[in-house]
Structure 1
């Protein structure tokens, strides 16, 4: 549970640092650059993340194991998860922002843990108790309230916007469930799965999506400029976030890990305040606490906590006696 919460915290930090990179000249120079910035930044972010993982796996001398994992049946499921969650889910997210605006997209996309919990129940037989489901929906409600702005921003095409937002939700939820299935294989570690995931995503973006959109020019400009170092830093925290996210999926299941992961919305407020000196309102603080509290409740097993506390008390009594 702590690892899942840490995944959300680190993703919040990643989000804030990546936001700094997106506010720099290469991504704002022309209208085309503004349109391409989400796709290019995602490609470079995942590419940098795969490089960090290559360094990490090299230090652990795991390259041969990664290749072996990739050739296995579970490894192929992880490749599928990467394609569904990365290019499909993220592309849906970006295009949804284009058609219905960031506010509505943020609200709709925050529903992915609920859909993920449903998929986990159907395909993985993961069950959540009523109080855990209540915690999940309280957390999602907090995200919706935090992201809501009167007017909701620009809306160009409601039908297309909602379709792509739905695509994003299904993509992100499905990714977590497939990853959970792949990690059931004792011969594949969460680090190996993440290496496969990030390489698959960056290769697909670089070879398919960017050529179609004509995004390689902007990508080269970013690669050869100072903004790359900021994205490298963001990707370092993003990679650490993914490592803990995959560990949480492996240990407590996809539905609970997803519930903890959406706390990044709350942590982004904290890091935005300390790093960017952004103004934080009372509303922001209240809903941030609600998001984190609801997510912890969704991932907690009260009986386990109570029985664990009783065991600790018994041990303390024995020591005193």
Structure 2
């Protein structure tokens, strides 16, 4: 692994970009909330704009680079795995997560969906036969625990449908953990830039189709015209997400799912720093402890693999 430090840095960069995406997504979604339907249609609309923007950004970049000359490789067994990964991580995972937030509240949804690195590591060990040492396992658990602690906020009221919401959040973790394992398997014959473009195109189009089903004929167009700046922010968030996802796929392919997911988990730290530095949010002791656990976990997982 001559380039191992470079891949670790790229993994951390994917976390930084994902933290930026989450910040921009939050800004755009909060501004757009006034003009959109209450309930699951609202987060679905925001996620659809996010993923479609990522798809358009990746199509433009890869079109300029001439990547699509290798498009024939998608029509293969590896392409099937990538399509399955796109459906798992995009529409199914996002819809489950939205329902988890809607029914159980953000605290429970975050705590359970944050288990996706554990799911991904287990599946990578079973299906891809990737090595997960004890040190790496401890690091993943610490990073997940840090994410849960950082985002755990006491609920203001009792959840609407606690058990169904928790089940949906857990399903989201299974989907996201399974997505990267299927994607790594698919990238055995397909380059990451083409793979992530396929992923975002499939996810964006399916999510957009589902979103349109939640609105009347002109409701979505009215919402777009009522809050253009918020949707421009969501579009920018989507472009950043596309770059983050590309790095995430490439890093997982290069150094394994455990290290790829652990370095990407630094988005939790970046998110807190962005909220503090740009939005002026206060950093609580709970956030410091959570971010510290994430940092320690990433450090344990990412130590140079001398014996590997």
Q: TM-score, normalised by structure 2?
A: 0.91
Residues paired across the two proteins, number: 299
Q: Please tell me whether the aligned partners of residues 120 and 258 of structure 2 are also in contact (alpha carbons under 8 angstroms).
A: yes
Q: Which residue of 2 aligns with 1:293?
A: 296
Q: How has the CA–CA distance of structure 1 residues 38 and 215 changed in structure 2, closer, same or farther, with 3 Å as cutoff?
A: farther
Preserved CA contact (<8 Å) 1:69 1:192: no
User: 2:269, 2:246 → 1: CA distance?
Assistant: 20
Superposition CA RMSD, Å: 2.0
**Of 237, 243, 258, which aligns to 1:234?**
237
Deviates more, 1:120-129 or 1:224-233: 224-233
CA contact (8 A) 2:40 2:98 kept: no
Match of 1:192 in 2: 194
Structure 2: distance between partners of 1:257 and 1:215? 41
CA apart distance, 1:254 = 1.8
Question: 8 Å contact 1:5–1:263 — kept in the other structure?
Answer: yes
SS of the equivalent of 1:155 reads coil
2:211 is the alignment partner of 1:210: yes
How far 1:215 moved relative to its partner? 7.0
Which residue, 95, 113, 121 being the options, matches 1:109? 113
Cα contact 2:29–2:234 (8 A) shared by 1: no
What does 1:52-131 align with in structure 2 at a 5 Å threshold?
52-65=57-70, 67-131=71-135
Distance 1:44 1:232 in 2: 6
Task: Measure the CA separation in 2 of the matches of 1:10 and 1:295.
Answer: 17
**Cα distance, 1:135–1:97 mapped onto 2, change above 3 Å:** same
- Could you tell me which residue of structure 2 aligns to residue 10 of structure 1? 17
Can you give the 5+ residue segments of structure 2 that lack an aligned partner in the other structure? Answer: 1-7
Confirm or deny: 8 A CA contact 1:103 1:153 kept in the other structure: no
Taking the aligned partners of 1:35 and 1:115, their CA distance within structure 2 comes to 26
Instruction: Report the CA distance shift for 1:258/1:130 in structure 2 as closer, same or farther (over 3 A).
Output: same
Taking the aligned partners of 1:205 and 1:51, their CA distance within structure 2 comes to: 14
Cα 1:22–1:34 shift into 2, 3 Å: farther
Per-residue CA deviation, residues 138-160 of structure 1 (Å, 9 max, x unaligned), is 11111121122345753112221
- Counterpart-to-counterpart distance in 1, 2:223 and 2:282: 29
Encode CA deviations 1:100-145: one digit per residue, 9 max, x unaligned. Answer: 1001110111111001111111100012111111111111111121
Equivalent of residue 178 in structure 2, options 170, 174, 177: 174
Q: Is contact 2:53-2:235 (8 Å) kept?
A: yes
* Paired position in structure 2 for 1:38: 43
Partners of 2:258 and 2:222 in 1: CA distance = 39
Aligned counterparts of 1:99 and 1:9: Cα–Cα separation in 2: 29
Cα 1:206–1:293 shift into 2, 3 Å: same
**Scaled by the length of structure 1, what TM-score is found?**
0.87
CA contact (8 A) 1:4 1:261 kept: yes
Shift of 1:258: 1.5
Cα distance in 1 for residues equivalent to 2:150 and 2:143 = 11
8 Å contact kept, 1:101–1:153: no
Which residue is 1:315 aligned to? Answer: none
